[in-house]
A and B are shown apart, each in its own frame.
Chain A
Amino acid sequence: MPEQIRRKDRGKIEDFLDIGNSAVLGAVEIDPEKCTGCAYCVKACAANALEIHDRKCRMVVELPLCISCGDCVAICPEGSISLTRFLKYLGFFRYIDRGATGPPRKF
C-alpha cells in the first residue's frame, strides 16, 4: 500500500481519498504467532479495516480505512496487535500541530 495517496493516482479505487487531496492511512501490525483468530478486533474495528483470513486476523487487503483509533490494540486478549502508523490527512483537512506518538505519560 502506498504511504501517501496523491492526486496523480486517479483511476484507482483510492480515488475517494483524493477529496482531501491526499491522506496517510493508519496501519496496525498483527503478530501471527500470538493471534488466535477470535475476531474481537474485527468486531471492534470502527472502519471495517480488519478481517479474518485463514484463522488469523489481518488488515483488509484492498483498502483498509484504518483511523488508528487503537480499539483493536486495546481489545486483543493476546496483545498481538500494535499500531504502526497513524492516520494523517493532508491537503485541506490536514492535521496540524501534532507531535510524536506514545502511551500516556507520567509527569
Chain B
Amino acid sequence: MQSWIPLVPDSASTFSWKVDALYFYLSGVTLFFTLLISAVLIFFVIRYRRRTPYEIPRPIAGSHKLETLWTIIPFLIAMTMFAWGARLYFEQYKPPQNAIEVYVVGKQWMWKLQHATGQREINELHVPVGRKIKLIMTSEDVIHDFFVPAFRTKTDVVPGRYTTLWFEATKPGKYHLFCAEYCGMNHSGMTGSVIVMEPREFDNWLSGNTGSTTPTVAGQQLFQTLGCVSCHGANGEGGRGPTLAGLFRREQQLEGGQKVIADEAYIKESITNPQAKIVAGFGPIMPTFQGQVTEDQLIQLIAFIKSLPGGAATPGASPAATPTEGPAPSPAATGSPTRNIR
C-alpha cells in the first residue's frame, strides 16, 4: 500500500465522501475544543502557579452568563452534528428501488452470497460500478455484521431476521469485507473482498459463472418438492392455504384483526412457525418446516414467492412498484426508510 499513513480508507461508494465530510467536521470541532481547553489549561496553570506557599486567591462565585453561554453554544453545535448525521443515516438505510438484489447468508465463519441471476460466491462479492446493490441478509447461527470500510457502511446480520444493506460503488477495485460483530472462534477470519468491476467486465463475469439455477427457479422447485403446491397452488393462487401470488409487500389481514406487511421475515416465519400468524379465514393447519429447510432454501422460497405476479403487483424480482410502497422516492424524501424488514 502507500508508504505514508492514510487518515481515511479507500473511498469507493456514494456514501464515502459524505461520511468523510461529516467525519472531518466532527474532527475539526473536536480538535478545536481540545486545543482550546488544553491551551487555556496550560496558560492558567503557568500564569496562576502558586508563587508563595500560603497565598489564597480571591474567590469567584461563578457567572450565570458564562454558564448559559457554554451550555447553549455546545448544544447548538451538537445539534448540527445530530441533524447532519441523522439525515445521512436515513439515506444509508433507505433501501433504494430497482436495485440489484444479492442474498447474503452469514455463518460461522464465512459469507455465502447468491446473485439473483444464480451465481454463488463465498467470501467474495462481485458488483458493477455505478449500480445500486441491495443485500438481503440473514444468519444461520449467531449475529454477524457485513462491513465494507471503503463503502462506509455496515449492518448487523441477525439470525431469524432479514436485514438489508445497500450501496452504490463508484470506483473499481478490490475492497475489504469484514465481519464486524464478534461471532466466536474464527471471527477475525470471517473476512473477504468486495470486487467492484466496470459494468462490461461484470457482465462478462456473470456470463462466465453460470451453471447454478437462480434462487427463484430453485425456490419454485422446492415449492413443488416440499408439497407447498397442494395447499397454496402451483403458482401460489391459493386453495386451502392463503394466496401467495402478489403477496410480497402487501398488507395481510390476520385472524384476530391484526394486520401485517408481508415482508421477508413474515414469509420466513410463516414457513418455520406457521401458527404464529394465521391469515384471516384460514385454519391453523400448516405444519412447521423448521429444521427441514436451510437458510439458503428459505431465501430461495422467499425469492420464488416474491416473484409471483398477482393483483396490482409487477412481476419479477423488483417489487418496487407495489402500491403499498407509496410514491417513488426522491433523495430528499423523509419517507419511511426501513432496514429492518420484519
Q: Do A and B bind each other?
A: no
